[in-house]
Amino acid sequence: MWKVMLVDDEIVIRENIRECVDWEREGFVYCGDASDGELALPLIEQTMPDILITDIKMPFLDGLELSAIVRKRMPDVKIVILSGHDEFEYARSALRLGVEEYCLKPVSAAELVALLRSVGAKIDRERREKERLERLGRGEAERALPTKEKLLADLCTGMITTAEAVHAAAGLSLSLTAPFYSVVLTDVRCGRSQSAEIDAGLVDRAEARLREGILRFGPADGILEFKRSRTERAWILKGDSAERLRETLAYAQSELKAGVEAETGCSLGIGIGGVQQRLQHVHSSFLEAEEDKHWRRLTAQSRRTAGAADGSLEQAAFLDRQRYVDFLKVGSPADAEAFVSALAGGLRSIDWRSDLYGYYLLSDLTIEAFQTAKSLYRNLDGLESALRRFQQAVGEIASWEDASRYLLWLAEQFWAWRGSAADRYADMLEQVKAYIGAHYGEDRLSLQDVADHVRVSPSHLSKVFSQETGQTFIEFLTQTRIRKAMELLLTTNGKSYEIAHQVGYGDAHYFSNLFKKVTGMTTKDFRKQGRLDAAWPGWEGENHERTSVAEARQAR
């Protein structure tokens, strides 16, 4: 049923049209009538008709003025101009306003019904098309949503912004946000060789045992997980308390690992990432877990090698590894000899010809020193080859004096890394920001492109960039592009889609949505506001003055 309203200053016309048409039988609802545009406006807003029939010449507010207001406020309302003035200028004015029909008085009931049915049919077609487009839009939006696995993988690798992650999680009905986060990586190997052969059933059983153990420390929605391979799984742990989350990590590292291996007979490799407070830093915890897993594997291999060699493993000797690593971090070469002499005192009782425990202690200490260096100074080259040289040197130790010299040599190497890494991050990050500043307009610009430019791996760049700047690579790139778009909106007359292409977004619709999500305004509203807001995260307010539209255009 199409709703119709009539506006005409002649009461006879209004009564004739109202009484001569069987509105309900013809498929219409007669909403009412008014004698001029001013009286009609509140009725139109109240009843929301589908079709408005209005005379042109009326007192107070004529039909053309009324049509202009209705078209602006209610663009879906179809307007039919009814007039006794057969003049071209009226018709042209009406057409410019976007009216559907223009007809002359007098008009018969049959002619009016035919005209209204034609307009009603157009309304129905437009509604069907709108519904079809909305369905397509919903379908595209659903298809655009990543799977849970892809979302979590992108979150861990830093390939998605916080806003995008939260939006995608909402579409997947996934509880993503929490006060604290940490990532645990596991690698379950089951079968006779526990490496080449994989027993899928045992892997599933081991992972179920892991899940059960982790759930002891929090609610079910406190774990987000995804498979990385047949044996590897990533676990994103959420918590309300950092301390409680650290308890979970400590439990997973010790008791849970031992319990899973004892119950299933599988070998469990595990990597623990640090506790983070921001969703954007989940990928930092993920990379820390990757490194932790790698170094744990090296330590395990070293222990297996020591245990398999001929000789005894007397454990009377003692070496304070944490004290030595702390000294590497803050100590100085001037104090090295005295410190090492005191620290290595516990190794004097070792018979290096028959007791392999000393080799195990030094090998384990070496791996921990290298792991510490890698976590502190991540832009290091040749770390793996250096580790092999040091491990080889451990095997050549034949006396306490050799062991002491080895500890001094290891300290010197650590301090050399500490000195060389002091300014490398700053230089690298300046190069990264300069490269983004020069190439942000390329829609295919990626983390890989920038990593290739500064000659580091994408994962390493992602982690360093996040830790040093407090932003992920994607967030910084988005901020740079949106910031440039804001400047272009204020200083040029470019269309929104033109600016989208200029700042690296091939999809103008995506750009518009992203701009509003980041700034809280549409591009049109931002242009009207006419200034850059110092409160916006991308704006360094202390180094810039606010720019008005007038100033920007004058500068242009």
Give pLDDT, residue 146: 65
Listed in sequence order, the residues at least 6 apart from 355 whose beta carbon sits closer than 8 Å to its beta carbon are 311, 312, 313, 314, 317
Per DSSP, the three-state class of 164 is helix
Q: Is the previous residue joined to 219 through a cis bond, with omega within 30 degrees of 0?
A: no
Beta strands in 10-161 (DSSP E): 28-34, 51-55, 78-83, 101-104
Q: Which two tokens stand for residue 10?
A: 């002649």
Instruction: Yes or no: say if 384 and 404 are a contact pair by the CB < 8 Å rule.
Output: no
> Could you please report the per-residue DSSP string of 120-186?
HHHHHHHHHHHHHHHHHHHHHHHHHSPPHHHHHHHHHHT-S-HHHHHHHHHHTT-----SEEEEEEE
CATH number of the 2-139 domain: 3.40.50.2300
CATH of segment(s) 147-290: 3.30.70.1130
CA quadruple 370, 372, 376, 378: dihedral, nearest 10? 40
Looking at residue 381, what is its pLDDT? 72
Ranges for all domains in the chain classified under CATH 3.30.70.1130: 147-290
pLDDT at 49: 93
pLDDT 10s digit of each residue in the chain, 556 long?
Answer: 889 999 988 888 888 888 888 898 888 999 999 988 889 999 998 999 999 998 888 888 888 888 889 888 888 899 888 877 665 566 666 666 677 777 777 788 888 888 888 888 888 888 888 888 877 766 655 555 568 888 898 888 887 888 888 888 888 888 888 888 999 888 887 765 444 445 667 777 777 877 777 776 555 557 888 888 877 889 898 888 888 888 878 877 777 778 778 877 788 888 888 888 888 889 888 888 887 787 777 666 655 555 544 444 444 456 777 888 888 877 788 888 998 888 888 788 888 777 677 777 888 788 888 878 877 776 577 777 888 888 888 888 888 899 999 999 999 988 888 777 655 677 788 899 999 999 999 988 888 889 889 888 787 788 778 767 778 888 899 999 999 999 999 899 889 999 999 999 988 888 888 898 888 889 988 888 876 654 454 444 333 333 333 343 344 3
What is residue 548's DSSP assignment? B
Which residues, 6 or more positions from 105, have their beta carbon under 8 angstroms from its beta carbon? 13, 82, 83, 84
Beta bridge partners of 184: 235, 272
224: helix, strand or coil: strand
Which residues of the chain does CATH 1.10.10.60 include? Answer: 425-555
| The CATH homologous superfamily of the domain defined by 425-555 | Homeodomain-like (1.10.10.60)
Domain(s) labelled CATH 3.40.50.2300 in the chain stretch across: 2-139
Using CA atoms, how far residue 549 sits from 224, 490, 516, 523, in Å, is: 47, 6, 19, 14
Q: β-pairing, 78-83 with 2-7?
A: unpaired
What six digits make up the tokens of 385?
């080859």
CA neighbor of 289 nearest in space, from 187, 377, 428, 149: 187
**pLDDT value, residue 543:** 37
Kindly give the pairing relationship between strand 51-55 and strand 78-83. parallel
Residue 503 is predicted with a pLDDT of: 93
What's the DSSP call for residue 252? I
Q: Show the tokens assigned to 224.
A: 């987000």
Instruction: Single out the residue of 64, 102, 101 nearest to residue 83, CA to CA.
Output: 102
The model's pTM is: 0.43
Least Cα distance to 217 among 234, 198, 231, 235 occurs for 235
In what side-by-side order are the strands of the sheet with 2-7? Answer: 28-34, 2-7, 51-55, 78-83, 101-104
| pLDDT recorded at residue 408 | 92
